Structure formats: C-alpha cells, structure tokens
Amino acid sequence: MLKKKTIVLGVSGGIAAFKSAALVSKLTQAGANVFVVMTESAQKFVTPLTFQALSRNYVYTDTFEEPDAEKIAHIDIADQADLILIAPASANTIAKLAHGIADNMLTTLTLAAKAPVALAPAMNVNMYDHPAVQNNMNTLRSYGYKLIEPGAGYLACGWIGKGRMAEPEDLLDLIDSLLANPTTLAGKKILVTAGPTREALDPVRYFSNYSSGKMGYAIAKEARKRGAYVTLVSGPTALNAPAGVELVDVQSAEEMYRAVTDRFNDMDVVVKSAAVADYQPEKVLSQKRKKQGNEWSVSLVKTKDTLFEIGKKKDKQILVGFAAESEHLDRYAKDKLERKNLDLIVANNITAKGAGFDVDTNIVSIFTNDNHSIDYPEQSKAETASVILDELEDYMKRRELM
C-alpha cells in the first residue's frame, strides 16, 4: 500500500522523536515518498539533517521558508499528501490542532490538508491523563483524526504509565491500513477473540493450553487493515496488540464470556479464534496447596460456552468459529457449524506439522452455512488471516449482508 504514496510525517517536541527517524527509514524502504515537517522543539531532539538523509527529501521547519519560489510550501506539501502522521504528537501540538491554531509549519500544513490525519501521542502519563489533553484528543477525533493509543511502561521522565509513543513497526502497519482500499469490512465493528484462557486452581497454579494467540492477532490486524473497527478480546499472550485495535485483556473463560457478551449487541461480526478452556476447577483454593501424598485429584466443571450462547441470540451478527481438531476434521467442523448457529467455521488439524498451536503457519479448511467449503495449504498466519477474511467478505456478498 505504501509504494509511491506521499506520507507527511510531522515531528513535534519529545524524546520519542528518535523513533520517528526509524519510522522514516522504514517508510522509505517500503517505497513511500516521505516529507518530514518538524516543530522548533522537535529540532532540539533530532536534527533536520537526520530526517533529510533518511527521507532523501527537504525537511520543512519554517512556514516562511520557501525552497521553491513558485510554490507555497505548506499548501504544496498538504496537497501532495496521501496521509499525514504526527509522531510524536505532543500535548502542545494536539492542543493547537484542536483549537485551530496555525503558528508553525506543522500546524499550518495540517489545517490546510484534505488528506487523512493520524496522531501518535507521546508525553508524561500525568499530562496524557489531564482532562484538557483528553478533551483536546476527543475534539480531534470528532474532526475525523485518528489517534493511536500510546503504550504503557517506563517513561523517559522516570514515571511509569501510559504515554510511550507507539513503536515504528506498529505505526507502519497503521499507515498501511489507513491507505488500504476500502473493502466490505470497512466501517464494520468486528470483535476477535484470541489466545488461551487460564483457569485458576490456587494462587500459583492454573489449567491452560498451548495457544499463542498468533492466529487471532493476525485476524485482528488484517481486519483493521481492511477498515474495520476492531475489538480484540485476548487471553494471556506475549503479543502486542496491532495498532488501531482496541485491546481487552482477560484471563479466564468466565472473563472472556463477559467481555464478549457485553459487547455482542454492538458488533457486526464476531470471530471466535480463542482457545477457551472447556472445563475449570470446581473449587479454587484460596491458599497454595502444599505438596502432600502421591496423588491429587481435581474435580472439573464445564465453563460457559460463549460461542453457543451468542449463537442462540444472534440477530444481524455474523459469527465465525474455529475448530481445532485432531481427527475427523470435516465431520466435527460441520457439526459445530450447525450446532452453534455459525455462519463460517475455520477448521485445522492440530496434529499436522505447520498447523498446531504456537507456530507461525497454519493449514485450514473453511466451511460456511450455505454449503461452501475450501481447503488452504500451509501458509503464514498473516496469509491465513487474509484468506479467512476474503472468505468472510465473499460470504457477506453472497448473502447480501454488506
């Protein structure tokens, strides 16, 4: 999506400006034409020469500096832009744009542009949480600007909390998705579940499974790329949520059930790719069980079947389920498709090499409730996510559910 696209990268004052240099490098390598616009404060952290070397373009720092006498720079660059990304976006720059203040090259250009605008805030956690900053960000959202949630962690100022600018790799993915051609899923609300659940036994032990969450995260990323509004309900994983996706962290099957059912009525599509525990301990011990005897028998009870429950009450929603099987793949998948009132089911044989848990590839068969089926060979989970959503879109078109 980035090849031959013109990206204007606005850099405002903040230590995260060094990440923007890495982003420019990645954008240029991907074939984008990158123009960097810096505020005066940004130049205190990284020099314009750095961005010029990485972008191979003139770097704009002053509204009144016109490198080409035949053009008004801030209008010319604004007109060329396919997308404007401000990263880092400081509290100061956010406030100026929210109130229409055009007192530097970056704010003047942005206010003059017709292209989509995205901002990656980066600041101290207390600044980020301040009501004025939150109000300004909400104002920008009302203008149609896209704001990329900052990460949480150790900040340069010494505080720990939310305020770290999104990583260059995540911003690259977001830019790619914002420039993607609209599809049937554009504007749809999609909920994806991913990862395992953990069913507590005592304060230090739990039952779980081998799911890594990679398949669900790949689907969430691909759906966002296609223009959907994506909510990712995730069990414990080592993965970072894709940029632009709302992440809801859960631990147990009960928590996942509540997270999905609470949001179900607002969704257009639900993709249940999580490996949810079928059983949980009947009794959870409040204290760690000490080693005693040669055996320990644990009584298990069934967890709530989220997919079955939402299948019973679905109205306009499209439901996509997963069947991870070790035998009789087609039979079990088709049975689950009918029994749980699904529209599509994605089945894979977890014993096949390249299709099990915690690997980077998958081999799937997809069945729909209008008697369509197709088998796909081994491919990456990113590629598998793409074909799953291709099949979903084809199904929506066949059933006129667009």
More confident site: 34 or 157 = 34
pLDDT of residue 311: 95
Q: How many percent of the chain have pLDDT more than 90?
A: 73
- The whole model's pTM is what? 0.73
The chain-wide mean pLDDT, for the chain, equals 92
pLDDT band at 148 (very low <50, low <70, confident <90, very high): confident
The CATH code of domain 189-398 reads 3.40.50.10300
Question: Residue 402 has what pLDDT?
Answer: 63
Specify the DSSP element, H or E, that contains 50.
Answer: helix 48-55
Q: pLDDT tens digit string along 227-284?
A: 899 999 999 999 988 878 899 999 999 999 999 999 999 999 999 999 999 999 999 9
Q: Flag whether pLDDT at 357 surpasses 90.
A: no
Q: Who has greater pLDDT, 152 or 120?
A: 120
201, amino acid identity: L
For the stretch 110-136, pLDDT in tens is 999 999 999 999 998 888 999 999 999
Q: Which CATH number fits domain 6-179: 3.40.50.2000, 3.40.50.1950, 3.40.50.300, 2.60.40.10?
A: 3.40.50.1950
Please, what's the b/e burial string for 374-395 (b: 16 or more CB within 10 A of its CB; e: otherwise)?
eebeebebbbbbbbbbebbbbb
Domains 6-179 and 189-398 share a fold: yes
Domain coordinates in residue numbering, the chain: 6-179, 189-398
Q: How confident is the model at residue 383 (pLDDT cuts 50, 70, 90)?
A: very high
The catalytic residues are 157
Q: Please calculate the CA angle 314-318-323 and round it to the nearest 5 degrees.
A: 100
pLDDT at 293 over 90: no
Q: What's the one-letter identity of residue 270? A: V
| 375: helix, strand or coil | strand
* pLDDT tops 80 at residue 6: yes
CA–CA separation, 310 vs 272, rounded Å?
11
